[in-house]
Chain A
Amino acid sequence: MTPIFLPGLCDPDAAATVRRHGHTAAAAAEQAEAVFSRLHDALTAAGGAATDVCKITMQITDRAYRQAIYGVLGRQLAGVFPVSTGLIVKGLPDPDALFQLDAWAMAGGPHARLRRYRSTDAPYGLNKQEFVCDFCMVVVAGRRIFLRGQTGLGLNGVMVGLNDAGAQARQAVDNVRVLLAQAGADLSHAVRLVTYVTDRAYLEPVLGVVQPAFAGTPAVATELVVKGLAAPEILMEIDVHAVLPA
């Protein structure tokens, strides 16, 4: 099964939306429409389709734009059920860009999508959010396993570890174990780990929990301090990618 690599996608005319609307949710929504249009074009050009999309990472420069951008996402990828990681970032390469989409796709979709959910039915941190998106927790595409970014939000929808990044990390790792098992894998199949924290002070408690879980079969790792995650009470998130052996 062939991967389709996509660049980080921004609105090529982000400056125009900012001229019209300033740095506002309205500008962000316009940019999101352009971004998803580019996504569809890029997939088509590569011989693929939206149903090939496995994982998306939403990179937004201000939490105030999240609702508007996810509303566009929900319409543009209706019925696809990708796994998702949502970041609030300090900046994007184009100073006028308010939103960037990183997407990973595998040709030959729609792929197996486990634990599907609709965003309005599921809490993000302590609360539900208003936008309507179809997501799932695990995508299995050939040998590759893509997981939703995992946090202190249990698979039962209960957020644990308020103000305790280490406790959130324990829950996130527990979730990863359960989700990999559902895909017929375990942590020994993990290849890559990205750890996001919202404050450098959380790196020590979080890495102290997360990294030992990979003992024996270490993965490659990247650590990032970001401006925010899906909700303010979410202090850490881990992205785990796994590959089943041939």
Chain B
Amino acid sequence: MAHQRFRRFNTGPIYPGQQIANEMCMAVRAGNLIFLRGQTGFTLDGDFVGLGDAAAQADQAMRNVRVLLEEAGAKMEDICKITTYITDRAYRTAVYQVVGRHLGNIAPVGTGLIVNGLALPEMLVEIDIEAVIAGA
């Protein structure tokens, strides 16, 4: 069976004024494997929340993660690995507190990286999720 690709969208509105307008998607399900687009302060409707507030952006990102996993037939408990990118070490405590609140006792493995930047300057945090649907 071909992979299922959820919420196809065009990247054009994300990069206004730039020659980047391509079709990408928010989630791919390949059998029992789930891959999510890196989630940020952008809502799934395309609004950006938490300008200058890394914790608020992380909260939005994790809300998106829940929705996307459920749409793909998975749930938060299926998260195996979370990678958290932040653009400044100063955001770490606040971001990890928010992410931890969303994860509860799921206990995935995690990787943290401090990067020079994300896709847009206003993005202060991005979260990558890998999940496997249990028992599928």
Number of A-B contacts (CB under 8 A): 139
Least CB distance from B39 to A in Å reads 9
* B118 touching A225, Cβ below 8 Å: yes
Q: Taking the complex as formed, is A184 at the interface, i.e. its CB lies under 8 A from any CB of chain B?
A: no
Instruction: Decide: A7 and B111 in contact? CB cutoff 8 A.
Output: yes
The number of residues on chain A lying at the interface, defined by a beta carbon within 8 Å of a beta carbon of chain B, is 45
* Cβ contact of A243, chosen from B24, B31, B80, cutoff 8 A: B31
Q: How far is the CB of B129 from chain A (nearest CB, A)?
A: 9
A208 with B3, Cβ < 8 A, contacts A92-B114, A143-B31, A191-B35 known: no
Given contact pairs A189-B3, A204-B19, A221-B24, A6 touches B114 in the complex (Cβ within 8 A)? no
Within 8 A of A (CB), among B10-34: 11, 15, 18-20, 22-28, 30-31, 33
Partner of A220, one of B25, B114, B116, B118: B25
List A residues at the B interface (Cβ < 8 Å). 3, 5-8, 59, 89-93, 95, 100, 102, 143-144, 188-189, 191-192, 200, 203-204, 207-208, 211-212, 214-227, 241, 243, 245-246
- B interface with A by C-beta (< 8 Å): 1-3, 5, 8, 11, 15, 18-20, 22-28, 30-31, 33, 35-38, 80-81, 83, 85, 87, 89, 92, 108-119, 121, 126, 128, 130, 132
